[in-house]
Amino acid sequence: MKPLVYSLPQRALHWLTAALVLYSLLLPGQIERVADLLGGGKTPTPAEWTSANIHIYIGFAVLGLTLLRIVLRLVQGAPAAPVSEPAPLRVAAAATHGALYLLLLAMPAAGIAKFYFGVGLAGFIHGGPMKLALWILVGLHVAAALVHMFYWKTDIMQRMTSGRLKSAA
C-alpha cells in the first residue's frame, strides 16, 4: 500500500535539497572563473578558491542527498497522485519528478567531469542546457504545487510539509 504522506526524512531531504539547488543556481560564485583559470594554467586567488569550493561542496551534498533520497523512495514509496488530478497531468507530474531526479544526479556528474577531468563539453552542458532545463523544471514544479494548493485545493503541500492531511483532520 502507498503511504499517505512523505516520511519525515523524505520531507527533510526534499527541502534541504531544494535550498541547496536554488543556492547553486542563483549564487554559483566564482566557479566558472576558477575552472577557466585552472584550464589556462593560472592560479586562482584564495578568495576565488573559497567561492568555487562552496559551489563544489554544495554540489557534492546535492549528489549524496539525492542518492539517499532515491534509496528512501524505493524503500518507503511515495503517496499516489490525488484522484481529482486529471490523468494526463498525473503522467506529467511523474515525468517532471523523474526528470528532476535525473538532473539532480546529472548536474553534479557533469560539474565533476569538467572540474576534475577537464571535459569541456560537460562544463558547457552543466552551465548551459542543464542549468536551463533545471530552471524550467523547477518553475513548472512550483507552478504545479501552487495550482494544486489554490485551484484544486488538494493536500499535496501538506504531504511534503507538516505531514498532516486536511482530509484526515
Q: Which residues bind ligand HEM (CB under 6 A)?
A: 14, 17-18, 21-22, 24-25, 28, 31-32, 35, 55-56, 59-60, 62, 73, 78-79, 97, 100-101, 104, 107-108, 111-112, 114-115, 123, 126-127, 131, 138, 141-142, 145, 156-157, 159-160
* E strands present in 6-113: none
Q: Which three cell numbers stand for residue 36?
A: 577557466
Q: Which is nearer to ligand HEM, 46 or 54 (CB)?
A: 54
Q: Which residues contact 114 (CB under 8 A, 6 or more apart)?
A: 35, 120, 122, 123, 126
- Contact between 103 and 133 under an 8 Å Cβ cutoff? The reply is yes
Residue 139: CB minimum distance to ligand HEM, A: 10
Q: Which residues contact 30 (CB under 8 A, 6 or more apart)?
A: 44, 47, 48, 51, 52
Q: Which is nearer to ligand HEM, 92 or 97 (CB)?
A: 97
Q: Which is nearer to ligand HEM, 46 or 74 (CB)?
A: 74
Residue 67: CB minimum distance to ligand HEM, A: 12
Q: Which is nearer to ligand HEM, 46 or 136 (CB)?
A: 136
Residue 144: CB minimum distance to ligand HEM, A: 8
3-state secondary structure of 58: helix
Determine the Cα–Cα distance for residues 26 and 43; give it in Å rounded to an integer: 25
Q: Which is nearer to ligand HEM, 117 or 169 (CB)?
A: 117
